Chains A and B, each alone.
Chain A
Amino acid sequence: MTATLLYEDRQPFALSGADRNPLRLTLAELARATGWERKPQGLCRGETCVPEPPDAAWYDSSSGEIDLARFAAHLGQPVATDDENRVVAIGAPAARRRDALLSLEAPDFELPDLDGKLHRLSDSRGKKVLLFSWGSY
């Protein structure tokens, strides 16, 4: 069974190989699935680098793998797992979502319409937007 990682707002990432644990990734997989890369100063994504504390031990030098559960715990990210189907979802930390709202800058997103065409909120910059949520239920 293919293991799958759902990382923050990224597309699902399927891990190749049998009996994979979606919480243990090689460095190459880590970069593709999450955008984080291991550098001398720690794990980095864009301008942000997270130094590895002595007790964190999220990098296993013997296997060359990152333990994503430990890294997520360090960042305060929520983790949801389904062992039976080998799927893990790691969300954004609550503090990041809250800070984004408190900045007052409307968080951007990309979603499809009924025909599958993608739209971004930022496409409407320069116009007032009523962002209206509804449901068929």
Chain B
Amino acid sequence: MIAVALDTAGGAAVREWIRPSDLASRPKEMMELMGWGPELVARAAAPTFPCLIDERHLLAELYDLVNVPMAVWIDERGRIVRPAEPAGAGDSFRKLDMATFTVPPEAAELGRKRRGVYVDALRDWVEKGDRSEHALAPEEVRRRVRGPSGEHARAAAEYRLGVFLYRAGRLEAAKRHLAEAVRLRPESWNYRRNHWMLDPGAVGELNAGPEFWQAVQALGERDYYAPIDMAGMPPAK
């Protein structure tokens, strides 16, 4: 496994996430919902696989990633056997009650089940390789790959420019270019959420503010996470 943090705020954001300075003051309900706690922090702080940082979202450009968590399966020959898709995540989180930080039991159960199906499929592929039903045939991988459009490529260029300006300390100019990237590729929640998280006080925090929820609600019936076309995967919501 290679984990890549698509974090424009870079190491500062990742360090704050894996060694949070405010863990004790977070609401208990949110801790339970997110699975946060000393055990998770200890695990995150000592990974057994490469954990990389991608400030400019190069990986999003190369593999067409628009949200997190998403994953790509790559075999021993370096061939893609499952292109970018949500890594078991679905839209049950949208049933969150903001006042109590709780989701209805059936939504929580659906989220657990989807993650379980995804992990089981992954284990099946690790064990069986190409014989796994979850390792897609080349023509099926090609059918699922959409690849970026011209607008998406423009969004990526705007994003890269914005990240450079952010690293140069030009925050307001950086935000303008990240906003342009969001305008050009509104379905990229990676662009959108990083754009909201550049202010010094927000780096490394979970973005669960009103702007995020308003944007999610504005989706209406549309998906936040794209459906996962995988044998045995329950519907996302």
Interface residues of A (CB under 8 A from B): 4, 6, 9, 12, 76-82, 84-85, 87-94, 97-102, 104-107, 109, 111-114, 119, 121-122, 124-137
Cβ–Cβ < 8 Å partners of B157 in chain A: 78-80, 89-91
CA distance A100 to B99 in the complex (A): 46
Q: Which 10 A-B pairs have the closest CB atoms?
A: A98-B147, A136-B17, A91-B157, A94-B153, A89-B161, A111-B52, A80-B157, A78-B154, A78-B157, A107-B62
**A90-B157, A94-B147 as given contacts; A130 in contact with B78, CB under 8 Å:** no
B1 is contacted by which of A76, A119, A130 (Cβ under 8 Å)? A130
Cβ–Cβ < 8 Å partners of B64 in chain A: 97, 101
Cβ–Cβ < 8 Å partners of A82 in chain B: 161, 165, 173, 177
A-B contact pairs, 21 of them (CB 8 A): A79-B157, A82-B165, A84-B173, A85-B165, A85-B173, A87-B161, A94-B150, A97-B153, A101-B83, A107-B62, A109-B58, A111-B58, A128-B75, A128-B126, A131-B73, A132-B1, A133-B60, A136-B5, A136-B7, A136-B9, A137-B205
Cβ–Cβ < 8 Å partners of A76 in chain B: 150
Cross-chain contact A113 with B80 (CB below 8 angstroms): no
CA distance A121 to B4 in the complex (A): 11
Cβ–Cβ < 8 Å partners of B154 in chain A: 78, 80, 91
Cβ–Cβ < 8 Å partners of B173 in chain A: 82, 84-85
| Residue ID in chain A nearest B190 by CB atoms | A135
Using A89-B160, A133-B70, A136-B17 as known contacts, list a sample of 14 further A-B pairs with CB atoms less than 8 Å apart, ordered by residue number in A: A78-B154, A79-B157, A82-B177, A90-B157, A94-B152, A97-B62, A97-B64, A98-B147, A104-B138, A106-B80, A107-B63, A130-B122, A133-B4, A137-B197
Cβ–Cβ < 8 Å partners of B68 in chain A: 133-135
**A89-B160, A94-B153 as given contacts; A132 in contact with B62, CB under 8 Å:** no
| Residue ID in chain A nearest B61 by CB atoms | A97
Give residues of chain B (73-131) contacting chain A, Cβ–Cβ below 8 Å. Answer: 73-80, 83, 87, 122, 125-126, 129
Cross-chain contact A127 with B52 (CB below 8 angstroms): no
Question: B23 → chain A, closest Cβ, in Å?
Answer: 14
CA distance A131 to B87 in the complex (A): 10
- Give B1-41 as 1s and 0s: 1 = Cβ < 8 Å from A's Cβ atoms: 11111110101011111000000000000000000000000
CB of B50 within 8 Å of the partner chain:
yes
B4 is contacted by which of A79, A101, A125, A131 (Cβ under 8 Å)? A131
| Residue ID in chain B nearest A101 by CB atoms | B145
Cβ–Cβ < 8 Å partners of A102 in chain B: 142, 145, 147
Cβ–Cβ < 8 Å partners of A107 in chain B: 62-63
Cβ–Cβ < 8 Å partners of A135 in chain B: 5-7, 13, 68, 190, 193-194
CA distance A114 to B17 in the complex (A): 12
Cross-chain contact B73 with A130 (CB below 8 angstroms): yes
